[in-house]
């Protein structure tokens, strides 16, 4: 029933801020009015959730999102296919003929030639230790240097500037340089691949031929001398063979695991063998050397590599590059990028949580390192303090 005067009145009790005044207010005012009405209906605890807890959760994900994804990796990524691990036999008092026989191989009449090929960035100390370790067994050292990091940062030719330091291999050195492409915003792995292709060409210039041995590994992935000696003297070795290296971080004080596998040795095939740094076979020779990652003398070298190598995306915050923080991380055996372990099972991740335990063993390390302790003391247990540089 319509009341007198033609107007309909709603006698239900309402709040006037929620009334719709039949077009007498603007659309924006009506929207604000409805929002205020909705908020009045919300429970106070929900408001706290919306305006305090939710932003905190978002900020936490922003800070630790990488940790969360690494921890959940086992949910969507399976472990790599296991390697066929070849037992490694060695003792300095056992003859090479016996060592070859223990591995199921035959001894050769003469050893193969060995080519050691590396891309060089700034690892002068590691290169010195590597080449001294391999010096008695390598026929030709091949080194390629670029004026660009993988991330497109211009860099000096450090090897060229310090070439006198490596005079002991000068007669067996094939050295080459390559100009960087300096493409802004490009994936660093593209530049890395470009440089590895150039290194492949330099190896051919060095004079490699069929059945020579070619070592493919980064400067800080150092095969033990006796491993290379074994492979050059034995027949019937696999055409491609990965080397299992002991994984160290910052120095030989922080032993991580035995899972480093990227280094490899190849019986060269002209027109077929290509230099690469990924998995190329299922065969791996156990306990074949050392990988000492971020093993630098100067804090400035840590900062340089963090900005220069292919995983630069791990530098998510500027304070990661703070020298005092880096020094603290080194001495604690923690992670420079505040990351969780790169494992593919929850058991593996949990087992490696926290800093790497200190090791006080200096047994079975590169001989040149132990012969020059005063020069390389920072790489040995109990010497985590670094020079600023």
DSSP 118: E
d(CA 152, CA 176): 19
φ, ψ of residue 343 to 5 degrees: the values are -120, 165
What Rg value do the Cα atoms of the chain yield, rounded? 31
pLDDT at 11 over 50: no
- CA distances to 118, 127, 261, 365 from 192, rounded to whole Å, are 12, 19, 19, 29
249 neighbors 308 (Cβ within 8 angstroms): no
300 neighbors 389 (Cβ within 8 angstroms): yes
φ, ψ of residue 132 to 5 degrees: the values are -70, -35
Query: For residues 122 and 57, which has the higher predicted lDDT (pLDDT)?
Result: 122
Task: Give the pLDDT confidence of 156-173 residue by residue, as tens digits.
Answer: 999 999 999 999 999 999
pLDDT at 310 over 90: no
pLDDT at 145 over 90: yes
**Sequence-separated (6 or more) residues with CB below 8 Å from residue 88:** 103, 227, 285, 286, 287, 288
Give per-residue burial for 5-30: e unless 16+ CB within 10 Å, then b.
eeeeeeeeeeeeeeeeeeeeeeeeee
pLDDT of residue 16: 45
What's the CATH number of domain 84-296, 3.30.70, 2.30.30, 3.90.550, 1.20.120?
Answer: 3.90.550
**Sequence-separated (6 or more) residues with CB below 8 Å from residue 68:** 61
pLDDT at 181 over 80: yes
pLDDT of residue 280: 96
Per-residue pLDDT band at 61 (split at 50, 70, 90): low
Of 169, 181, 180, give the one whose Cα is nearest residue 143: 169
């Amino acid at each position: 029933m319509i009341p007198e005067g033609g107007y309909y009145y709603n006698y239900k009790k309402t709040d006037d801020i929620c009334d719709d005044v039949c077009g007498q207010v603007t659309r924006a005012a009506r929207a604000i009015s409805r929002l205020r009405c909705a908020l009045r209906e919300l429970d106070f605890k929900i408001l706290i959730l919306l305006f305090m807890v939710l932003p905190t959760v978002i900020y936490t994900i922003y800070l630790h999102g990488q940790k969360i994804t690494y921890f959940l990796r086992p949910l969507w990524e399976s472990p790599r296919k296991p390697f066929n691990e070849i037992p490694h036999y060695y003792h300095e008092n056992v003859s090479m003929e016996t060592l070859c026989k223990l591995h199921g191989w035959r001894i050769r009449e003469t050893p193969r030639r060995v080519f050691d090929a590396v891309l060089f960035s700034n690892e002068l100390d590691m290169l010195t230790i590597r080449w001294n370790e391999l010096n008695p067994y390598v026929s030709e050292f091949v080194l390629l240097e670029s004026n660009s990091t993988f991330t497109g940062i211009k860099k000096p030719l450090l090897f060229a500037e310090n070439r006198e330091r490596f005079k002991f291999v000068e007669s067996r050195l094939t050295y080459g340089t390559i100009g960087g492409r300096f493409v802004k915003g490009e994936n660093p792995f593209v530049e890395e691949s470009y440089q590895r292709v150039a290194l492949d060409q330099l190896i051919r210039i060095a004079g490699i031929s069929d059945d020579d041995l070619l070592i493919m590994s980064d400067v800080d992935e150092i095969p033990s001398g006796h491993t290379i000696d074994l492979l050059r003297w034995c027949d019937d070795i696999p055409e491609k063979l990965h080397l299992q290296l002991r994984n160290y971080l910052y120095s030989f004080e922080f032993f991580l695991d035995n899972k480093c596998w990227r280094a490899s040795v190849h019986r060269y095939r002209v027109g077929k063998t290509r230099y690469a740094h990924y998995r190329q076979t299922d065969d791996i020779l156990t306990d074949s050397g050392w990988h000492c990652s971020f093993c630098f003398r100067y804090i400035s070298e840590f900062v340089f590599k963090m900005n220069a190598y292919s995983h630069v995306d791990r530098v998510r915050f500027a304070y990661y590059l703070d020298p005092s923080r880096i020094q603290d991380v080194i001495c604690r055996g923690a992670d420079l990028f505040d990351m969780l372990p790169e494992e593919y099972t929850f058991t593996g991740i949990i087992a490696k949580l926290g800093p790497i335990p200190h090791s006080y063993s200096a047994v079975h390390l590169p001989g040149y390192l132990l012969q020059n302790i005063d020069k390389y003391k920072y790489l040995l247990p109990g010497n985590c303090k670094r020079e600023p540089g």
